[in-house]
Amino acid sequence: MKARRANSRDRILAAAADVAREAGPGNLSLDAVASRAGVSKGGLLYNFPTKAKLMQGLVENYLKDFEQALEALIAQAGDESALSAYITLSSDDCEKPQPSASWIFSAIAEDPEFLAPIKSFKRQLFERLKGETSDLGALLVCFFAIEGLRSMDLFDSDVMTPDERKLLILSLLEIAVRSPDS
């Protein structure tokens, strides 16, 4: 039996991710994405009517992949809490080189709803973690420290040394381990 061929939307998103990695999201060209995906520009625009919608699709794919990786890490870790898994996965994610985030401002200006999937994902994740711990204070410290770390990475404004970053992650993991599950 043949493997199912990726649909054009999936091919476009994979091509856009490749082009964004190579050129940076701010330099993403719809023509380059269409060419890489093997679709016409009209086909690309049928799936993603604007560059902002394409970028939003990339963000939604990233969130889906992050959620799947989080679920896999939780399943693999066994006794490790979801909060510990979130800290570990996020810190690993922050170690990867990030392109400039200036493209985000353009996407938000073009489509104010650009951040909606991110807000929804973060809210759902926070509610899930909140439901899995009885120590709301520990969750708040860990969750918002990680989100701060992510923001510093995204906007290339990290002020910590590698040793300070490592200490932060170890401290957060200690807090998460001490945090009693519900």
Query: Which pLDDT tens digit goes with each residue over 76-120?
Result: 877 668 999 999 999 998 888 766 666 777 777 777 788 888 999
- The mean of the pLDDT values for the chain is 86
Q: pLDDT digit string (tens) for 16-27?
A: 988 888 877 777
For 49, phi then psi, to 5°, come to -60, -20
Q: Which fold has domain 1-49?
A: Arc Repressor Mutant, subunit A (1.10.10)
The answer to whether the CB of 74 falls within 8 A of the CB of 133 is no
Q: Where are the domains of the chain?
A: 1-49, 51-178
- CA separation for the pair 131, 123 (Å, rounded): 12
Helices (H), the chain: 8-23, 30-37, 41-47, 51-77, 82-95, 102-110, 116-131, 136-154, 162-178
